[in-house]
A = this chain, B = another copy of it.
């Protein structure tokens, strides 16, 4: 189960090397997993409204080829592993058929007090938790 979200590179996201500044891929991963969840039926803001947060505890990115200004990037997102306590997402960044990079993030589910929480069963299907 994967989802592809589109991101158009903003001038704001470039740097003086003439390419996208690397930290922006981490923001694009957010776009990827949020659109993944929306496509699976759960806008992330509804999860927060219900009192649950997906806090990032780890983020990794490998850069293979630079993204450029105005590129239309596709962020392919998948769930690598999910339990009621935590979830791992994997990402691949594409410009057309060219792979620009890969990323991973690991998240803990937290409650409103930002303490570790158990994701209620009604949300398990969204993330493929079995």
A13 CB, nearest partner CB in chain B, Å: 8
> Does more than half of chain A's interface fall in helix, strand or loop, or is it mixed?
mixed
Is A40 engaged at the interface, CB distance under 8 Å to the other chain? no
Interface residues of A in 1-34 (CB under 8 A from B): 8, 10-12, 14-19, 21-24, 26-27, 30-31, 34
* A15 x B17 contact (CB < 8 A): no
Is A39 engaged at the interface, CB distance under 8 Å to the other chain? no
Q: CA–CA, A129 to B53, complex, Å?
A: 41
A residues touching B (Cβ–Cβ < 8 Å)? 8, 10-12, 14-19, 21-24, 26-27, 30-31, 34, 43-45, 53, 55-63, 66, 69-70, 114
A-B contact pairs, 29 of them (CB 8 A): A10-B27, A10-B30, A11-B16, A11-B30, A11-B34, A11-B44, A12-B15, A12-B23, A12-B27, A12-B30, A14-B15, A15-B16, A16-B17, A16-B19, A17-B55, A17-B114, A19-B114, A23-B23, A23-B26, A23-B27, A23-B59, A34-B70, A43-B70, A56-B63, A57-B62, A57-B63, A58-B61, A59-B59, A60-B60
